[in-house]
Amino acid sequence: MPLFICPTPIGNLKDITLRVLETLKSVDYIVAEDTRVTKNLLNKYEIKTPLKSFHSYSNRHVLDSIIEDLKKGLSIALVSDAGTPCISDPGYELVKRCVEEGIHFEVLPGPNAVLPALILSGFPPDRFFFYGFLKRTGGKIKKTFEYFKDFEYPVIFYESPYRLLKVLSIMNEVFDANRHVAVVREISKIHESVVRGTVQEVLDYFTKNPPKGEIVIVLGGNEMKI
């Protein structure tokens, strides 16, 4: 039996697909990044399937045991805390091992933060670059932004609300005064919002209105305006 990659809601629990629900009910067990988070989702839909924890701090024995179960014919679902597994997520290590071991896996379509953020940004969505989470140090963040200084397409970053002002300040140092950016918050949740403008304008806004919730930053291309 294959491994099933199952996207889960990023905010609104109603966004889960019927196919994912059917899969979560039918597999032998579910591999979850944080079993406490996943348990809330399972309880919502009265799913009793057993859970196994697998995260960035899991040792190799956990990964090996999952691979062995797949080889024995068990059916397993992989979920992340929110969104599509493997995207800025430790689940990639399991998929990588499946490829190396020749184990079949299926990817089910479903929720993610990248495409909604891109469309909400107002930038042309036909071509874009997804970067994921930025490095932790200011120097490495600055180096990343310098790489995209002349980039002509939108670039998407995941970020913490606690670092947003720092990140926007570094953006303001690196990019021209007319470089535009959109900060998308709480996608699919009650307080979803988008702040668009030049980097300076968006920085000024969040300096006066401290950010909260899940953040996606969409940096416009070097000639894009919204």
Q: Are 23 and 109 in contact (CB under 8 A)?
A: no
Ranges under pLDDT 70 in the chain: 57-58, 224, 226
pLDDT digits 0-9 by tens, 86-113 = 988 888 999 999 999 999 999 999 999 9
> In the prediction, which pLDDT does 57 show?
67
Q: Which amino acid is at 15?
A: D
Task: Flag whether 136 is in a domain.
Answer: yes
CATH number at residue 142: 3.30.950.10
Residues 117 and 99 in one domain: no
The β-bridge partners of 51 are 30
Task: Flag whether 226 is in a domain.
Answer: no
> In the prediction, which pLDDT does 221 show?
94
The one-character DSSP state at 221 is P
Q: Give the strand pairing for 105-107 and 3-5.
A: parallel
Residues 119 and 78 in one domain: no
Sign of CA dihedral 44, 47, 51, 57: negative
> In the prediction, which pLDDT does 90 show?
84
Domain count, the chain: 2
Give every CB contact of residue 87 below 8 A, 6+ residues apart in sequence: 112, 114, 130, 132
> In the prediction, which pLDDT does 224 show?
67
> In the prediction, which pLDDT does 176 show?
92
* Cα 131 from Cα 136, distance rounded (Å): 14
Q: Are 12 and 189 in contact (CB under 8 A)?
A: yes
Show the domain range for 69. 3-107
